[in-house]
Every structure is written in C-alpha cells, then in structure tokens.
Amino acid sequence: MQISELHLRKDLRMKHVMIDTEDGSSIDSKSPVVDALSLIARDPNSAVVVNDKNGESIGIATEKDIILALEKNGASILDDAIETIMTADPIRADINTTCEEALQQMIDGNFRNMPVFENEHFKGIVQALEIAEGKMVEVLEENRKLKELIVKHLPKKFYFQSTDDVNEVHDSMVENNMSCALIQNTDRPADIIDLSDFLHLMGQNKSLKGPSN
C-alpha cells in the first residue's frame, strides 16, 4: 500500500460530519407545507427530504424554499402540498463522499443542504456548516500533530521563551539563518513563528528593527 492510500483513508467524509436524522428529515410529497415547517423547526437541519407514495426520495424542501413561497404567494401556501415548492431531484451525496467533494458541489450549485444516502437508503441531510466545522477540527488536529513533530525535531537553538526580547529573537533568527523558531509559553502550548511574522510586526510597531543590510 502506498502512503497516499493511507491519506485517502483518513479523508473526512459525510459519515463523519453529518447528523443521522433519517427519521425526522423526510416528509410525504402530499403533506402540507406547514408540516414540513414544523419538522424543520424541530430538526437540527434546515431542510426536509420529500418522498413519493412509495417512499422514494424525489426532492428537497428548505427554509429558503418556504420563505420564497410565502413571499410570493402569502400564507395560503402553508396548506399546499410540499411537492409544489420543493426542489426536485437535488444533488445528493453518499456517506463516503468526501467533505471537499460535497462542499465544492454546494458552492457550485449555490445551496447549503444536501441529502445523504447509503446504498440508496436515505440517512440524513448534511449542511455546509457541518462540513465546515468538521474540516476545521481536522485542520486543527493536523496543525497540532505538525507542531508536535516540529517541536520534537527542532534543534535547541531554535527555542525561545515568550518573555525574550522580540528584537533579540529576530536578530538570532537572521544570524543563524533560521526560517522559523519555537516560542515556549508558560500558560499555553508552544507557538511557532517565522520571519514573515516579524515583517508583519514591523508595519505595526516602530520599536521593532528591520533587517540590517
């Protein structure tokens, strides 16, 4: 097995971020809009999947669909069948669809709710926010592991204390041709800085010296 295969196995997928809401996220196509609104109010998602009389998924109705219908036709639409305002044949995801794939489809299609299936069986609805939160956790975990790796292998000359003078740290990094340094803190995990951080500070703090020629 190649190392790339190991990475693919770790990719965040729908089954990792979605809330399994199959029991509360679907409605019969002939049910009134007001019933769909009640489901959405109780459900963690902001949409419901619409099923035909055979239980097959044929569409999705979102908060936005209901709001637009109310704005266009007034409160009378609350008694209409949900199929009259739903989005038919929405883009769907499999539980093994990656977060990147699903999020890109949402961006391209300008929507934020996607039904998720497993072997044609409806499992729930995933929202763009859930995907974004899942990816954020993944990125933070990768950053933590990367920081641990850097700390483990970084030579001691790259270590500084949070109380050290910023100019002295900068000069030491330049003198030793260091692209990054580790700042040890007493109240939180270590920080890693690079020379670009000093360039940013130079624009804000005149007490920081620029690189000498």
Rounded to an integer, the average pLDDT of 45-59 is 92
Q: Same domain, yes or no, for 111 and 42?
A: yes
Contacts of 56 (CB under 8 A, 6+ apart): none
**Per-residue pLDDT band at 100 (split at 50, 70, 90):** confident
Q: Domain ends where: 82, 100, 133?
A: 133
Is residue 120 situated within a structural domain? yes
**Residue 4, pLDDT score:** 36
**Alpha-carbon span 46 to 37, nearest angstrom:** 9
Q: ∠ at Cα 135 (129, 141), nearest 5°?
A: 140
Token pair 């936005």 is found at 64
Residue 142 located in a structural domain: no
| Residue 188 belongs to domain with CATH number | 3.40.1620
Q: Is residue 25 located within the same domain as residue 111?
A: yes
Q: Are residues 160 and 119 in the same domain?
A: no
Residue 211, domain member (yes or no): no
- Look up residue 148 and give its two tokens: 């641990």
pLDDT score of 1: 35
Domain CATH for 36:
3.10.580.10
Say whether both 14 and 58 belong to one domain: yes
Q: Is residue 25 part of a domain?
A: yes
Q: Which domain holds residue 105?
A: 3-133
Residues 21 and 126 in one domain: yes
103 or 81, which is more confident? 81
- Of residues 54, 115, 126, 106, the one with CA closest to residue 86: 115
Residues 26 and 95 reside in one and the same domain: yes
Q: Does residue 126 contact residue 17 with C-beta atoms inside 8 Å?
A: yes
* Position 8 confidence tier, pLDDT thresholds 50, 70, 90: very low
Confidence at residue 20, expressed as pLDDT on a 0 to 100 scale: 57
Q: What is the mean pLDDT of residues 170-176?
A: 83
Please determine, for residue 132, whether its predicted confidence score (pLDDT) is greater than 90: no
Instruction: Evaluate whether residue 164 is within a structural domain.
Output: yes
To which residue do tokens 């890693």 refer? 192
Give domain status of residue 147, yes or no: no
Count how many domains the chain has: 2
Residue 170 has pLDDT above 90, yes or no: no
Beta carbons of 126 and 93 less than 8 angstroms apart: yes
- Same domain for 118 and 159: no
Residues 121 and 59 in one domain: yes
Is residue 84 situated within a structural domain?
yes
Domain contains 145: no
Query: DSSP readout, 67-120?
Result: HHHHHHH-GGGGGSBGGGTSEES---EETT-BHHHHHHHHHHHT--EEEEEETT
For residues 125 and 163, membership in a common domain is answered with no
DSSP lists the bridge partners of residue 105 as none
| Pair of tokens at residue 157 | 């000359």
Q: CA 48, CA 139: separation in Å to the nearest integer?
A: 30
